[in-house]
């Protein structure tokens, strides 16, 4: 197979969110596994809404996720290419001027529905005489430009959906250029795909219907249609649309929340597939497991709760070598034993700060009044030298001496020593605290 050339084409009019990150990820995994090329195309033809801040933000987010690209370009630098393509289509009689207002088009659609016909454009623009066009111009009307579809079926073998067929007689001739002269998405995208030699277009299934027109435009401009893979859309866990919540699901927001980039990629790379959703250690593992054949046809359900679980599991499996520079950046220099001890209790990486503070900072024990005498006696019975066996031997003697057992035995000790009701195994916590600090906390003193 020829090495694939794919493109991810975000618009810099907002922040990168889980929906478009999933598309970027699919493109990246497919291209990298096949030794291909990933192009970042910045779709900034909407000059009013596009900003350099958003553009830099989406690039920063992709780099944070590890989804690097081989080359990049801005559509706003290529208007001359789009103008040339539009002129070529005009000369071929495939791009024609239309003068209807939006209100007139709406009435046309309503009339078609009332007559039991599909609400497609009636191609009135094709029959306009020069005199009629001049009359419209004198009225101050400016034309929008439509591509003339063949009316024939367009068929392709989709890598996710199998054989697909779009009957172009059942859809409206698409508008390629607005009345104000600005381009809609379609023509610039097709021109760029031809110029960049795109071999595979991987995107959401909401673009399936668009593909028929795009293939015809591409052929009219002398291009060869790429292969398509239209993936099911991302929805909320309850099946509802994510659109109203995308602000809270932007990469910027998730990063602020402390979500790991590999947790995001692990979840987005596996939901909606036949593989189990599990934390993957790196993108290399994820790409080696990627296949379009694993992607189901049902919408992929995204759950923030599931993301939190994947995030925690990723941290629980993180080796010390990977954690060490991040711990040091947080001022934590407790070593590998500390990391191995606390990582299973982390939900976010920065939770390690709280555990380091618990071990390092002077603090008094959390002791209930009814447990004070018990904890004081426990301090007296704690040996000066702490080993891995100390906890079980020490609590065994306390059980015999006091008659306490289970939660009434262990919980007061855990609270006095750590100030927390849950945490790492206490035999290891005790070793790391040391006898002097442990005795002070058991007595309610600062230790």
For the beta carbon of residue 125, count every other beta carbon within 10 angstroms: 20
The top-level CATH class assigned to 5-74+186-234 is alpha beta
Question: What is the residue whose two structure tokens read 């066009």?
Answer: 133
Domain ranges across the chain: 5-74+186-234, 80-177, 236-314, 320-360, 369-442
Asked whether 179 and 142 are in contact (CB, 8 A), the reply is: yes
Q: Which of 308, 331, 159, 133 lies closest to 237, judged by CA?
A: 308
Measured in degrees and rounded to the nearest 5, phi and psi for residue 334 equal: -85, -5
Query: Over the chain (447 residues), what is each successive 10-residue block's mean pLDDT?
Result: 92 94 98 97 94 97 98 98 98 96 90 86 93 92 97 97 95 96 96 98 95 97 97 91 75 96 98 96 97 95 96 98 97 96 97 95 90 93 95 94 93 95 95 94 90
Q: Which of 5, 63, 38, 33 lies closest to 286, judged by CA?
A: 33
Q: According to the model, what pLDDT value does residue 117 have?
A: 83
CATH-assigned architecture of domain 369-442: Orthogonal Bundle (1.10)
Q: According to the model, what pLDDT value does residue 296 have?
A: 95
Report how far residue 384's alpha carbon sits from residue 74's, in angstroms, rounded to the nearest whole number: 68
Q: Which of 340, 441, 439 lies closest to 385, judged by CA?
A: 439
CATH-assigned architecture of domain 80-177: Alpha-Beta Complex (3.90)
Q: According to the model, what pLDDT value does residue 301 have?
A: 94
The answer to whether 5-74+186-234 and 369-442 have equal CATH topology is: no
CATH topology of domain 236-314: 1.10.1160
Enter the pTM of the model.
0.93
Report how far residue 364's alpha carbon sits from residue 333's, in angstroms, rounded to the nearest whole number: 22
């Amino acid at each position: 197979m020829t090495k694939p050339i794919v493109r991810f084409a975000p618009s810099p009019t907002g922040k990168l969110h889980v929906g478009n990150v999933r598309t970027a990820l699919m493109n990246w995994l497919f291209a990298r596994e096949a030794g291909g090329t990933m192009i970042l195309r910045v779709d900034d033809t909407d000059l009013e809404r596009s900003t350099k801040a958003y553009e830099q933000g989406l690039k920063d987010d992709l780099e944070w996720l590890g989804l690097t690209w081989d080359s990049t370009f801005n559509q706003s630098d290529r208007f001359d290419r789009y103008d040339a393509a539009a002129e070529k289509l005009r000369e071929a009689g495939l791009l024609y001027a239309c003068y209807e207002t939006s209100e007139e088009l709406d009435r046309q659609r309503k009339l078609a529905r009332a007559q039991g016909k599909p609400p497609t454009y009636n191609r009135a623009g094709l029959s306009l005489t020069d005199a009629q066009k001049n009359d419209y111009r004198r009225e101050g009307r400016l034309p929008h430009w439509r591509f003339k579809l063949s009316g024939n079926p367009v068929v392709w073998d989709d890598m996710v959906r199998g054989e697909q067929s779009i009957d172009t007689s059942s859809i409206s001739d698409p508008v390629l250029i607005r009345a104000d002269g600005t381009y809609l998405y379609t023509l610039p995208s097709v021109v760029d795909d031809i110029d960049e030699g795109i071999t595979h277009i991987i995107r959401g299934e909401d673009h399936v219907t668009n593909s028929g027109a795009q293939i015809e435009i591409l052929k009219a401009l002398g291009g060869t249609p790429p292969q398509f893979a239209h993936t099911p859309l991302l929805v909320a866990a309850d099946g509802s649309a994510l659109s109203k919540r995308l602000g809270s699901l932007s990469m910027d927001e998730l990063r602020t929340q402390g979500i790991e980039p590999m947790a995001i990629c692990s979840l987005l790379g596996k939901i909606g597939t036949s593989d189990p959703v599990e934390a993957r250690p790196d993108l290399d593992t994820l790409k080696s497991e990627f296949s379009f054949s694993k992607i189901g046809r049902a919408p992929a359900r995204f759950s923030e709760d599931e993301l939190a679980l994947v995030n925690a599991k990723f941290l629980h499996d993180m080796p010390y070598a990977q954690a060490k520079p991040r711990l040091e950046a947080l001022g934590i220099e407790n070593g590998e034993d500390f990391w191995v001890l606390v990582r299973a209790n982390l939900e976010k990486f920065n939770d390690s700060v709280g555990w380091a503070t618990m071990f390092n900072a002077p603090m008094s024990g959390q002791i209930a009044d009814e447990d004070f005498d018990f904890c004081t006696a426990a301090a007296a019975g704690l040996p000066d030298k702490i080993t891995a066996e100390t906890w079980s031997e020490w609590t065994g003697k306390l059980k015999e001496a006091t008659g306490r057992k289970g939660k009434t035995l262990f919980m007061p000790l855990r609270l006095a020593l750590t100030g927390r009701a849950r945490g790492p195994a206490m035999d290891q916590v005790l070793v790391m605290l040391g006898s002097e600090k442990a005795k002070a906390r058991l007595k309610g003193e600062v230790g």
